[in-house]
Structure formats: structure tokens, C-alpha cells
Amino acid sequence: MTDQVELAAQGIAERVIDLVVQALDVNALLLRIDVNAVADQVDVNELMDHVDVNELLNHVDVNELLNHVDVNQILAHVDVNQLLTHVDLNELLTHVDINQLLSRVDMPLLLERVDVDSVAKRLDIDEVLRRIDITALLDRIDMNDLVGRVDIDALVEQTDLGTVIAGASGGLVTDALDEVRSQAVGLDQFIDRWVARLLRRKDRGPLAPPALLDAGAQS
């Protein structure tokens, strides 16, 4: 008996609700609601605390979303220069790992795309040279090492430098002295070798006073 009454009451209630909802003008009702007042009472932060944004984003198909975005259209509205004035490039660069960035760059491919001739044409060599501190540059060059790499013999033989040297320093006396000295040194060494052989010396011993040997090595 009780069950039948409850079922009847439930059916009546559902029917009444349907009738009320059908009779209700929701649009008119919403017009009467002060949405701003409602919004004022909503604590958005409190609400956001309950939202798992990551979980939410997992359900968003970003690619699909981006397919609908006309990036060019957006960028057309962006004043890049104005944007860049707000960007602290130095600060930005401090966060950039240049080495990491460069390691990801395919340098050969990059260089293939560079029109070096074009770059060179646009280069103001005079301006570049004007900005170079030649003195500082030269300070960093080991001149002795540089000169040491020059094949002086080949230079004299292959160029007119030999003519200059011959004209500046040549002379009968000088040539005669060079010849006499060379002959004497050659005979010195010849005799030294024989003396060392007769005395059965295995090592030649000191070649010069140590101080002069050190000086010779440094010069």
C-alpha cells in the first residue's frame, strides 16, 4: 500500500516539474539575473584551485585547436617592434644555453644556405678594419714563432730579396771571409770527428758554455 502511494507521489512530482520547466521562460529569467553580481560573489581563485589545469589540457587537442588558428592573421596584428621594445634581450640571452643551442644547429646545412658572396659584398671591410684594435691583435701574436716559421732560405732563393742582400752586403772581402771561415769550420769538424774516433769517445761532451747554449736556445 505504502509503495503504491510513493510511486504515485513520485509520478505526480515529476509531472509537475516538467510542467513548470515548460512554462518557465529561461531567457527572461536570465535577463533578471545580475550576472556581474553573481560573478562578484564567485571566488575565481578558489574555483581555480579545484581545477586540475593539466588534466584539463590533456583533454584538449592542441593541434586541432591550432589548425583553426590563423597565425599569420594574428601576427599581422602584432607590432613586433613594439613587442621587442618590451623584451630585455640581454636578460633573455642569460637564460639561453648558447652551446646547447649551437649543438642543435646543423652548421654545414646552415652554411650551404648562406650566400657568402652576397654577405661579402655587403661587408664594409674598411669599417670592419677600423673597428679592429690592430695593436691588441698584434700583442696576441707570437712574432718570434711567426718569423720562425718563415723559410728564409727559400725566400732568398725564390725572390729578389737575394739580389737586395747581395747588393747591400756583398763584397770581395766579405765573400772571402765567409769562404775562409766555412773552410776552417769544416776542417775543425773533420779533425774533431777523427780525434773522437781515435780516443773512442762516445759522447761529444759540452758544445758551448751553458750560459751561451741557453742564450742560443732563446734567440
Partner 1 sequence: MTVHPPTAVLVSLQRHYAGSVSRFTAFAIDFIVSSGLFAIALAAISYVAQVVTGHAIAWNKHDLIIGIASVAWYLLYFGYSWATSGRTFGMAVLGIRVIRADGAEIDPWRGLVRALAFPLSFLFFGLGFLGILVQREHRAWHDFIAGTVVIYAWDARAARLRFLAREALPSASPDGIARR
Q: Using CB under 8 A as the criterion, which residues of the chain lie in contact with partner 1 when the complex forms?
A: 152-153, 156-166, 169-170, 174-175, 177-178, 180-192, 195, 199, 204-213, 215-216
Letter string b/e over residues 65-77, b meaning 16 or more CB atoms within 10 A of that residue's CB: eeeeeeeeeeeee
Q: Which residues contact 204 (CB under 8 A, 6 or more apart)?
A: 192, 196
Q: CA triplet 171, 149, 181: central angle to 5 degrees?
A: 30
Nearer to partner 1, 95 or 202 (CB): 202
Beta carbon of residue 147, minimum distance to partner 1 (angstroms, whole number): 12
Specify the DSSP element, H or E, that contains 91: helix 89-94
Rounded least distance, CB 80 to partner 1, Å: 57
Q: How far is the CB of 192 from partner 1 (least distance, A)?
A: 6
Cell (9 digits) for 163 = 739580389
Residue among 11 and 186 whose Cβ is closer to partner 1: 186
**Cα dihedral: 129, 135, 136, 139 (round 10):** 130
**Minimal distance, residue 205 CB to partner 1, in Å:** 3
8 Å CB contact between 123 and 115: no
Helix (H, G, I), strand (E, B) or coil at 89: helix
Nearest approach, Cβ of residue 144 and partner 1 (Å):
15
Question: What's the grid cell of residue 64?
Answer: 586541432
Of 108 and 205, which CB lies nearer to partner 1 in the complex structure? 205
The residue (of 17 and 166) whose beta carbon lies closer to partner 1 is 166
Q: How far is the CB of 142 from partner 1 (least distance, A)?
A: 20
> Which strand (E) or helix (H) includes residue 162?
helix 161-169
Nearer to partner 1, 8 or 152 (CB): 152
Between 10 and 183, CB nearer to partner 1: 183
